[in-house]
Structures are given as structure tokens and as C-alpha cells.
Amino acid sequence: YEIYLNGMTGAVPRLPTDLTRLEELTERRLGPGPVGYVAGSAGDGSTARANRAALGRRRIVPRMLRDVHERDLSVEVLGRALPAPLALAPVGVLSIMHPDAECAAARAAAAQGVPFTLSSASSTPMEQVAEAMGDAERWFQLYWPKDPEVGRSFLTRAKAAGFTALVVTLDTPMLAWRPRDLDQAYLPFLHGVGTANYFSDPAFQAGLAKPVLEDPNAAVMHFVGMFSDPAKTWPDLAFLRENWDGPIVLKGILHPDDARAAADAGMDGVVVSNHGGRQVAGSVGAADALPRVVEAVGDRLTVLFDSGIRTGDDIFKALALGAKAVLVGRPYAYGLGLDGQAGVEHVIRCLLAELDLTLALSGHAGPTTIGPADLVEESA
């Protein structure tokens, strides 16, 4: 009601409450280069469309007369109580959206009580982001560097900076064919954006012939060579277990056999995700992959979900399909681009308010009572 009450004095929200409108507004404000990088996806965009279609095809079947006057959005994720089943996804290079970049997004998450996942490819060193968050819940996303010393150093720094969970992204051993970026010949990393965690890292610096400031181009090329490692296989996960004593979540899992392999390797969770459609063009819509992963490992691992979440009812559907919580990516990046920290808070508040209403109007006092029986699937 806050929005309607403010409206009585003539005030309307600064940003639209339909978050699907944010992309277009951000492009008008910031121009096509940065927005192309954020909005863009792999190939002809079919996977990003499949993400929306997979959620859209599933329809909620509301229940009536079930006492929903008091509601509680809280859930337990990775052994910790969260006030709501939502976290901010790791999104790199946020300085292309706003000068306050990751710190503004992290402050917004902290203010709204949702975990912030900091990308390895952050525009800001992880210690600064941690400081901006106080003791609020934060997770660290790892692009697994080729150089094990840099990997170990990242994990040591993240632990010291108070990141609780490690989210290891497996779907990006290299960047995909992304026509919007290719056509503009625009890749933020080559401009030194998204390299701050690396350039500030002692183990990374030790691998350079000259200090970053003396030869920034060589530092960028060193980053490109070690950013990720396509040669990794499942047994390599032991390295992570040895160097991280908190929960480890594998991001980018779509196949149930990979989810089983994650459980067998002693991981704590998976994020069912296709990177927002940015990696494999023609891949399965993430929500279509979710039920099989939940069936395979739902009793052994914490299953999280992202790729295509734009509304509160999208969150409802992902939870009904068995996810414990969802991550949201592009919408908060646009919120940041349009209005800094306040824009990110707007996105979080809209999603949670709409989720709360969707739950209530569908007959649920909280996320824990939702299940597959609350959805029907329209034929494709």
C-alpha cells in the first residue's frame, strides 16, 4: 500500500513496477554499448527466450479459503535462514551500469536483507564490497582461474572478507558467441573492467612480468589467459573442497547426471541456470531443466534457480518446481543503471511484494507449502 498512499500526494514510483520495462529505459539512458552487454545473450537469443517461455508456459492454479492473513517469506538455504527466497545473482563488470557499481548493489541487497553474490569479474575488489555490506549475508562467485595459486588466493581473500558460500560457475569456461557484443566489438574486460579482483590479487600480480600500472595491457592479456580453464573435470572439485570450508554451490547445472555428480563430489548445492541464456544458444530453458534436477538431487542438495526471473509469479513457479530460492540477474543491473542503490532496492522490493501477493492470492502463507501441484503446464 505504500505506493498507493504516496500516490495520494501525487507521487508515483521513480521506476516502473513492471520490471520487464527496465531494459528499454536503461538503453535510452546509457546507450547501446553497455546495455548490449547486459541484455545480450548467446546466438540468436533463443535460449533467453526459452527461459521466459519455460516459466510462461507454467500457470499457477490458485487455492481459496486457506487463511493467508499472516505470511512469512522466510526459507532455509544452505543451512542459514533467509528472510525471502531471493538472492542477487553474480553479475560482473557493474561499473558499466553505474559508477558505484557492486558497492551500490551490495548495499541495496544488505538493506533489503537478501544475499548478494559478488562476481569474480567484479569492477570493485571484493574487500571493498564486503566493507560496504557490514555483516550482511554475502556469497562469492568463482570463475575458476587456470592458475591454482590465484584460485587459492581468491578463496582465502573471500573467506577473510566474510563471504559465507562459494558459488562456482561451471558454464563459462570461455565466453560464448554473443552477436551483440561481437557486432559492437565491445568486451568490457579488454578495457580493464571486471579485472579489479585479479589486479588487486597478490598471486595474480606475482605472475606478471611488470606491475599492473606499468603495463596494463599485459595485465589484461594475463587475465584473459587465466580467467577460466576449459580443461577442468569433475575430480578437480577436490581442490575447492580442500580450500573452502563453507558451503559450495555449482552454478550452471542443467543435466540431472551433472547434479548427481555434484552431490557425489560432496558439494552442497547447485544453481540450475543457463547463465541467463548467455552461453549455449539453443539450450534448454532453465525452468524446463529444473524438475529433473530436483528429482535427481532435491533430497541431497540445495537446489537454487536462475535465468529468466522477472516477476514475483516467476519466483512462485520456480519454487513450485522445487527450487529453494532464486537468483535474479539483469533486472537489478538495470535498476542499478537507472537509479544506483535505490534502483536495485526498487527491483528487490517489487519482486518480493509481488511474490508475497502471488502467494497470498494463490492460497499460501509462505513458500514452504508450494509444490508442483500448484502449477499446470500448457502445451508448448
- What residue ranges bind ligand FNR (CB under 6 A)? 37-38, 89-92, 119, 121, 141, 169, 251, 273, 275-276, 278, 306-309, 328-330, 333
Active site residue 364: no
Question: How far apart are alpha carbons 125 and 29 in whole angstroms?
Answer: 27
- Residues in CB range of 7: below 8 A, 6 or more apart: none
Among the listed residues 69, 98, 222, 275, the single catalytic one is 275
Collapsing DSSP to helix, strand or coil, 64 comes out as coil
Nearer of residues 157 and 275 to ligand FNR, judged by Cβ: 275
Positive or negative: CA dihedral 25, 180, 172, 54 = positive
Nearer of residues 121 and 364 to ligand FNR, judged by Cβ: 121
Cell numbers 558497492 correspond to 103
DSSP 90: P
Nearer of residues 58 and 364 to ligand FNR, judged by Cβ: 58
Min dist. Cβ of residue 70 to ligand FNR (A): 30
Cell numbers 501441484 correspond to 373
Min dist. Cβ of residue 12 to ligand FNR (A): 26
Nearer of residues 248 and 363 to ligand FNR, judged by Cβ: 248
Name the H helices within the chain.
2-7, 22-30, 32-39, 46-57, 101-112, 126-133, 148-160, 179-184, 196-199, 202-206, 216-226, 237-243, 256-264, 286-297, 312-320, 330-361
Nearer of residues 272 and 366 to ligand FNR, judged by Cβ: 272
Question: How far apart are alpha carbons 147 and 140 in whole angstroms?
Answer: 18
Min dist. Cβ of residue 13 to ligand FNR (A): 21
Min dist. Cβ of residue 297 to ligand FNR (A): 19
Nearer of residues 153 and 228 to ligand FNR, judged by Cβ: 228
CA angle 371, 376, 377 (to 5 degrees): 120
Q: Kind of pairing, strands 58-60 and 375-377?
A: antiparallel
Min dist. Cβ of residue 279 to ligand FNR (A): 9
Collapsing DSSP to helix, strand or coil, 210 comes out as coil
- Residues in CB range of 163: below 8 A, 6 or more apart: 118, 126, 130, 138, 139, 140
Min dist. Cβ of residue 274 to ligand FNR (A): 8
Catalytic residues: 275
